[in-house]
Amino acid sequence: MADARTVILSRLLDANDPSLREAAWTDFVGAYSKLILHVARSVSGDRDRAMDLYAYILDQLLCDDFRRLRRYVADGRSEFATWLVVVAQRLCRDHNRQRYGRLRIDGANLTTAENEHATRRRLVDLIGAEVDLTLLPDQGNHDAEYSMRAGEMHKALEKELGSLGPRERLLLKLRFEDDCGMGEIAETLRLPSRFHAQRQLTQVLRALKRALERRGIVESTP
């Protein structure tokens, strides 16, 4: 459950005298500098850049009469350090976007063939070493029938995945798209251990397998 406001935070937000406020801010920076710097360094390994980010984060926390900090207090649900990490990360991202522009990472950046190839790679990864990667068909030489079967397979899988609940979809995304370890997945989904996460994953995959078999998809290749 959420902390009560930290004493330092209370003193900072309640101070109405400039000198008291300045002293409270100094205490706040002293108490949370390390955490903020930790976030900044994780975003940029370059020391100067990390210091720029650190200074930016502090500046943003300070501005508008500590508007962001007051929002935390008004919400009050989370641990303050957790909230600070989330906010600091977002501020780093904003600063990077201002500096470098927004990086688009979406399916539109890849051609259809690249998407399909990435998909095939994943299929092969999960089926295992039984499939010789060198035998993957050349993407440029697909006949119409192959393409049609591949499309049908993709659609069937898409449909079955769409019928999963949000937690099951999240489990699959964390595992196969974000490459999270089972321990991390267990932590994110609040499961007791990585083995529980592994077991859930196995159950989901087994159910998907049965669903696809009912649709007549029993092989990994189109």
- Which of positions 109-168 make contact with another protein (CB under 8 A)? 109-110, 114-115, 118-119, 121-130, 154, 157-158, 161-162, 166-167
Tell me the closest approach of the beta carbon of residue 19 to another protein, in angstroms.
30
Tell me the closest approach of the beta carbon of residue 14 to another protein, in angstroms.
20
Q: Are 66 and 60 contacting, i.e. CB atoms less than 8 angstroms apart?
A: no
Judged by CB under 8 A, the stretch of 8-16, 19-27, 89-97, 143-151 that binds another protein is: 89-97
Give whichever of 21 and 49 is closer to another protein, judged by the CB atom.
Answer: 49
Q: Are 51 and 38 contacting, i.e. CB atoms less than 8 angstroms apart?
A: no
Give whichever of 11 and 154 is closer to another protein, judged by the CB atom.
Answer: 154
Give whichever of 68 and 149 is closer to another protein, judged by the CB atom.
Answer: 68
Identity of residue 74: A
Q: Are 27 and 8 contacting, i.e. CB atoms less than 8 angstroms apart?
A: yes
Rounded Cα–Cα distance for residues 108 and 111 (Å): 7
Indicate the angle between helix axes 18-43 and 7-14, nearest 10 degrees: 130
Rounded Cα–Cα distance for residues 150 and 154 (Å): 6
Question: Pattern 24-63, binding to another protein, x per CB under 8 A?
Answer: ----------xx--xx--xx-x------------------
Which residues inside 180-199 make contact with another protein, applying CB under 8 A? 180-184, 187-190, 193-196, 198-199
Among 61, 92, 95, 150, binds another protein (CB under 8 A): 92
Rounded Cα–Cα distance for residues 170 and 112 (Å): 24
Give whichever of 152 and 187 is closer to another protein, judged by the CB atom.
Answer: 187
Instruction: Determine, following the binding rule CB under 8 A, whether residue 70 of this chain makes contact with another protein.
Output: no
Among 15, 23, 136, 217, binds another protein (CB under 8 A): 217
Dmax (CA) for the chain in angstroms is 77
Tell me the closest approach of the beta carbon of residue 139 to another protein, in angstroms.
14
Residues 104, 185, 126: CA angle, nearest 5 degrees? 75
Q: Are 160 and 175 contacting, i.e. CB atoms less than 8 angstroms apart?
A: no
